[in-house]
Amino acid sequence: MAALLLVTVTACGPSGGSDQKSLLHERVFIGGKTDQPGFNLHAAHTDRGLEVDLANYLGKEIGFKSKFHDVISAKREQELKDGTSDLVIATYSITPDRKEQVDFVGPYLVTGQGFLIREKYKGIKTEKDVAGKIICTVEGSTSAVAQLPRGTILHIEPDYSSCVDKLQGGAVQAVFTDEALLYGFVEQYKNSKHPLKVAPGITSGLINRYGIGLPKGHTADCKKLLRALRTYLTEEWAADVKVQLQALVHAYPGDWENRFRPDPEDLNRYSSCET
């Protein structure tokens, strides 16, 4: 009887039957935002940004090669559920709603939200000024459901680069989303005809914590990723942020690590597994 029981337990796997085949095989397909400078920008056949650096580090530690493809905010849960993506690394905030559908490892970055405007624009100085303005944000994101002042006119696009195009063209007055993400666009457009800035002194809405998304039930993979992320945050994170998110670092001299680097305790608190 005891032997039989042992066989049954082993066949179910260490987590009582919920653990599935590993996602972290030789080539891992990652849903990313390939149009977000600073985090992940695909140009001239190369991917560049903090999330690319993170994926490479995880691959080196765990032993896989990553292959990014583009995913929009609204499709992230679906891609994980239907297996189009093994992982999602896409400025993807860990939220209670999303955690019901997918698992997360993180956070690897913490950010407030803000408004991206043209550098010379004087129309938005405080959050109240947003009322009556056309503000672009993205479908399926935490920014699209944030509380903005009454009278704000929301314009919704599938991705942030389309919002920034509209801002450049003058069709919207601001782009609203995570502050860290906006600084990537500030850097990209710094020498353009219409340089951009994050409206100073207005951080609105909720704190967003970026996590690596994975389909539910892969506890062993979750733990491997979490262990590797822990060392990434102490060994490489700061150097990578300095290179990839220069406008953010310049905006908060001496304080950017404090603001954007997650507390090590957050890792067990927000991840779907513990180490």
Q: How far is the CB of 86 from ligand GLU (least distance, A)?
A: 18
CA 200/CA 222 separation, integer angstroms: 38
Please name every residue paired with 113 in a beta bridge, in sequence order, or none if there are none: 178, 204
The secondary structure element, H or E, covering residue 55 is: helix 50-62
Say if CB 30 and CB 156 are below 8 A apart: no
Q: How far is the CB of 93 from ligand GLU (least distance, A)?
A: 4
Of the candidate spans 57-65, 125-133, 163-171, 173-181, the one that interacts with ligand GLU by CB under 6 A turns out to be 173-181
Instruction: Give residue number: closest CB to ligand GLU.
Output: 141
Q: Does 115 bind ligand GLU (CB under 6 A)?
A: no
From the list 93, 161, 219, 244, which residue makes contact with ligand GLU (rule: CB under 6 A)? 93
Q: Does 141 bind ligand GLU (CB under 6 A)?
A: yes
Of the candidate spans 9-17, 49-57, 139-147, 265-273, the one that interacts with ligand GLU by CB under 6 A turns out to be 139-147
Say if CB 232 and CB 57 are below 8 A apart: yes
CA 176/CA 4 separation, integer angstroms: 59
Q: Does 34 bind ligand GLU (CB under 6 A)?
A: no
Nearest CA among 228, 114, 239, 126 for reference residue 174: 114
Nearest CA among 67, 187, 200, 24 for reference residue 121: 200
Q: Produce one character per residue of 109-119: b if its CB has 16 or more CB atoms within 10 Å, e if not.
A: bbbbbbbbbbe
* Residues near ligand GLU (CB under 6 A), total: 13
From the list 143, 173, 204, 272, which residue makes contact with ligand GLU (rule: CB under 6 A)? 143
Of the candidate spans 46-54, 85-93, 100-108, 191-199, the one that interacts with ligand GLU by CB under 6 A turns out to be 85-93
Binding site for ligand GLU (CB under 6 A): 73, 90-93, 138, 141-143, 177-178, 181, 208
